[in-house]
Amino acid sequence: MDLDLDGNAALVTAGSAGLGRASALALAAAGADVAVCGRTPEHLDEASEQLRAVGSGDVLVVEADITEKEAVEGFVERTVEEFGRLDHVVTSAGGPPSGPFLDTDDGDWYRAYDLLVMSAVWTTRAAYPHLADAAGDGDRAGENGASTIVNITSRSVQEVIDGLVLSNSVRRAVIGLMKTQAREFAPEVRVNAVLPGAHETDRIGDIIEQSVERGEFADYDEGRESWNEGIPLERMGRPEELGEAVAWLSSPASSYVNGTALPVDGGGLRSA
């Protein structure tokens, strides 16, 4: 499917690794100019190389910590300066530490809130004027001309996951933000979210290793297999499968989708 993103400019926070990188790659492959940020120079270098390999658009990589307001605002402004416009925003963030409630202190809660919620607030606040301007561009005005925001959250906003109290609790605020912005920003900007289930990323690997260290599993393989349980498709997702869903939500192909939280989890969610 041609997603009609040629000449568009997209920004992905925490896009140097994991599901953020997968989303950036899908947008680049669809023809967009893509900017990503991250904290690890090696990941940024890898992302830059991969983005240039899959697409013909321009690529911008910026070292930035999304838990710092000034860094986020600077990333948005650099993107607009580089590309001359901003059509699409994807908010992504590395997950907070795993663990049960009684092992989680106040500092963990505040850090998780900045990472998951305030990073999305700062990004979308800084990006909105540029997104609205792009939507009003003469080449894009009309029913399919909306700019977009897609928040990458987690299936944990609908069904809690054992041992992930921070993600279970804090990510729900992002859905409230998305629902509110979807009403306030329309029709110029459509806002949606994706709710990934388990995808085979470094983040999942870290969670499994932490679970093994806590004695919850005998070894890594046992922990990995536990993530496949309860998924009708009997496997974890591939990162690119999530990225393709994000690119679709960012495209005119989803022009009547707004305010939606889309599970991408192989059918694992049992709640409606």
Convert the pLDDT of each residue in 80-114 to its tens digit: 999 999 999 999 998 898 889 999 999 999 999 99
Are 269 and 155 contacting, i.e. CB atoms less than 8 angstroms apart?
yes
Are 157 and 261 contacting, i.e. CB atoms less than 8 angstroms apart?
yes
Query: In which band, very low, low, confident or very high, does the pLDDT at 222 lie, cut at 50, 70 and 90?
Result: confident
Query: In which band, very low, low, confident or very high, does the pLDDT at 53 lie, cut at 50, 70 and 90?
Result: very high
Q: Where are the domains of the chain?
A: 9-199+238-264, 202-236
Residues 6+ apart with CB under 8 A from 266: 197, 231, 232, 233, 235, 236, 237
The pairing of strands 59-63 and 88-91 is unpaired
> The domain 9-199+238-264: what is its CATH number?
3.40.50.720
Residue-level pLDDT at 139: 63
